[in-house]
Copies of this chain bind each other. A is one copy, B any other.
Amino acid sequence: MNRGPTMVDVAEAASVSLKTVSRYINGATNIDPKLAERIREAVLALGYRRNLAAASIRPGWTSRMLGLIIGDLGNPYYSTLARGVEREVHERGYLLTTASSDENGQRHDELIDRMLEQRVDGLIIVPPYTGGRPWNELRPPLPPRVLVDRPAPEGDGYSVLADNARGAASATEVLLAEGATRIAFVGDSELISTMAERRQGYEEALLAAGLEVDLSLVDHGVHTDEQAAGAVQRLLDDHGADAIFAANNRAAIGALRAFRARGARVPLVGFDDFESAELTSPPTTVVSHDIAHMGAVAAGTLLTLLDGGVPAEQTTVLPVTLQRRGSELRVQ
């Protein structure tokens, strides 16, 4: 296997010592212009490229690679997040290695191990909902890391989150303002911290309006569009729901499917924007936040840590906004 020219080859070709080539490659200034020119030519002639992997094992040097572990790169939510991270870290000269855990704890752990073996300088992680070993027991301890979209356990480490409770509350408030009194909550498992927070915001808004929480209107078992569609059908037909709070975008899309199937709709507000929320009829109102920005903030926090700095906050909570588009209205 051809491993390409090394610094030694360049040094020989330029009739210079190894060290001088090293200096040249690393941009040192104190080099005789004559030698520099000879080296430059040799580099071009040989097609030399430095070997960062070799350089990185020297003391004081690092890989300048970061790892990003998310649930599923194919999910627009995560890919937007990844894009935000990527932009930030590339700007600072880091390479980003991305991997999907599929929300599988074991897979997640394997990916972390693999990245640590590759000696990434830091990690940005969206941990799976369940499974995976507890970090505090990890030997050796993880390198600098930042959690995204999930709270760090007991403040052990840094995390960046959206204001899920506030967002859910404002979604619920909008539906209440339309006169709804039986607002259904459709979402994924409560074990997912964001879901728990959204549920909490929903309840707080109901209670603040003097309404009781009717558990028959709460469905936490929705993992797919189809399940959501079925859930919404049931909530409307059997439990007298008069408005829907869809706690994630799969739930929202499912609700839209259910509306279409029965040829009638009720007021709807979703959480997390989706590509063509504006194209539905009526356009779908959602609580949304800037996911790419969340990624950028997480990356910024990690880079601060890597620079030896101390981020301003352990937990950064990012604001959410209500995108009013019409679907929250009773009449169109």
Question: A83-B100, A86-B73, A139-B47 are contacts. A52–B5 as well, Cβ < 8 Å?
Answer: no
Taken together as a complex, chains A and B put the C-alpha atoms of A280 and B279 apart, in Å, by 6
Contacts of A90 in B (CB 8 A): 99
Cβ-based interface call for A193 (8 A)? no
Taken together as a complex, chains A and B put the C-alpha atoms of A83 and B86 apart, in Å, by 16
CB-contact partner of A115 in B95, B118, B275, under 8 A: B95
Interface size class of A (residues with CB under 8 A): 35 or more
Grouping DSSP codes into helix (H, G, I), strand (E, B) and loop, the A interface class, with mixed when no group exceeds half, is mixed
Contact A114 B98, beta carbon cutoff 8 Å = no
Contact A51 B57, beta carbon cutoff 8 Å = yes
Contacts of A292 in B (CB 8 A): 74
Contact A52 B100, beta carbon cutoff 8 Å = no
Contact B49 A140, beta carbon cutoff 8 Å = yes
Taken together as a complex, chains A and B put the C-alpha atoms of A78 and B86 apart, in Å, by 14
Taken together as a complex, chains A and B put the C-alpha atoms of A87 and B74 apart, in Å, by 10
Cβ-based interface call for A53 (8 A)? yes
Cβ-based interface call for A274 (8 A)? yes
Contacts of A1 in B (CB 8 A): 59-60
Taken together as a complex, chains A and B put the C-alpha atoms of A56 and B53 apart, in Å, by 7
Contact A118 B49, beta carbon cutoff 8 Å = no
* Max chain B Cβ within 10 angstroms of own Cβ: one of A4, A46, A116, A275: A275
A residues 71-113 touching B (CB-CB < 8 Å): 72-74, 76, 78-80, 82-84, 86-87, 90, 95-100, 113
Cβ-based interface call for A29 (8 A)? no
Contacts of A280 in B (CB 8 A): 276, 279-280
Taken together as a complex, chains A and B put the C-alpha atoms of A253 and B280 apart, in Å, by 12
Contacts of A63 in B (CB 8 A): 53, 118
Q: Mark A residues whose CB is within 8 Å of B.
A: 1, 3-5, 44, 46-47, 49-54, 56-57, 59-60, 63, 65, 72-74, 76, 78-80, 82-84, 86-87, 90, 95-100, 113-119, 138-141, 253, 256-257, 260, 274-276, 279-281, 292
Q: A73-B79, A86-B100 are in contact. List 4 more A-B contacts (CB 8 A).
A: A53-B56, A74-B292, A95-B114, A274-B276
